[in-house]
Amino acid sequence: MSQRVVITGAAGFIGSHLSEALLDRGYEVIGIDNLLTGSTDNIAHLANRAFTFIKHDVTNYVHVAGPVDYVLHWASPASPIDYLELPIPTLKVGALGTHKALGLAKEKGATFVLASTSEVYGDPLEHPQKESYWGNVNPIGPRGVYDEAKRFAEAMTVAYHRYHGLDTKIVRIFNTYGPRMRLNDGRAVPAFASQALRGDDVTVFGDGSQTRSFTYISDLVDGIIRLMLSKVNDPVNIGNPREMTIEEIARTIIRMTDSRSRIVYKPLPTDDPKVRQPDITRARELLGWEPKVQLEEGLVTTLGYFREKVRALPRGTSGPSERLVQ
C-alpha cells in the first residue's frame, strides 16, 4: 500500500511541483488548498493519478480520513505582493494553519514538514546566512507579517517536537523560480520576465545592488524530499549559494528574451533585504544535497512558460510593473 502524504497549499507554485514529484515516487497525495493564491491550473494534470484535491481553508479544523504518513504544510501567501495585500490571512495561516496541520500530524502519528523561509533572517547582518543565525526582522514593518508568521510557525513546530515527540522537519526556502509562478506575484524572475517579454521597461528597485540566490524548482523539491525522509529535526537551508545582484538577474533575463527593454530604477521598498545567500553546509552534510541546475538552464524552461502566459494575456493588459517587490 502506498504511503499517504497530505500537502497544504498543494495548488500553489511549490506545492504543485511537490505533489507531482511525490506521485512520481509512488506516494498517494492528498492536496488541500483554499485557492486564495493557488490555482487548479497547477494541478489539473494530476487528476487521473493517485491525487485527491480538497478545497479547504487550513486555518479551520483539518480532517483527512484514513492513515497519513506525512503532513507537508505549504499553505501561505508567499510573495511580497500577496502578504502586503493579504496581511491577516498570511498571519492566520502561519499561526492557526500551522497549529491545525500539526494537529493532523499528531493525530495520525505522521512526520510533519514545515515550509519556512529565508525571510526568517529578515534583512540579515550575517552573510551568508547559517541556520544558527537568529535574524534581523522588523516585526511591525510591512513585510513583518510574513517573516513573523514563519518564525512563529517554526516555534510551534519545534514545540510539538519537544513536547509531543512529533517527528518534525523545517525547511528554510530561499528564492526559487520555475514554471507555475504567477506573472503578477511581484517576485524578481516573473516580474522581469513578463516585462521583458512584452518589451516594457524592466523595473529594478534601489540601485540593483541588493543580492538574491535563485534556486530552480526541481532542485528545491529534491532537497525537500531528502529532508522529509531524513532523521534531521533542526532547520535546514535549501537554496542555491550562487549569489547575484538584482540588476544582474534583470540583465540576464533581458538578454535571454532578446528584449529591447531598458532598466528603470525606483525607490527600494521598506525593509527590503540588502543581501540573501544561504550557507548550505548542513544540507550538503546531512542530506547529501546541493543544487544541480544552473540559472541559465532553469531560465530556459521558465521563460518558455512565461512566454506562453504573456501570449495568453488579453491585448492591452498591463503587467505587474507598478506592483513589484523583489
Q: Which of 27, 70, 83, 146 is catalytic?
A: 146
The pLDDT, as a whole number, for residue 321 is 41
Tell the residue number behind the cell numbers 494534470, with chain if given.
Answer: 45
Q: Find out whether 11 and 35 touch, Cβ atoms under 8 Å.
A: yes
3-class SS of residue 66: coil
- Residue 24's alpha-carbon distances to 46, 50, 220, 264, in angstroms, are 11, 10, 16, 43
What pLDDT does 145 receive?
96
Query: Quick check: helix, strand or coil at residue 71?
Result: strand
Would you state the cell numbers that stand for residue 239, as one nine-digit string? 537554496
pLDDT of residue 315: 65
pLDDT at 322: 40
Q: Is 61 annotated as catalytic? A: no
Ranges of residues in the chain with a pLDDT under 50 are 320-326
pLDDT attached to residue 325: 46
Domains and CATH numbers, the chain: 4-176+215-238 (3.40.50.720), 178-213+241-276+293-323 (3.90.25.10)
Question: Alpha carbon of 63 to those of 11, 69, 76, 177, 224: distances in Å?
Answer: 18, 14, 19, 32, 24
Q: Report pLDDT for 184.
A: 87
| Contact by Cβ (8 Å): 212, 247 | no
The model carries a pTM of: 0.95
Distance CA 115, CA 169 (A): 9
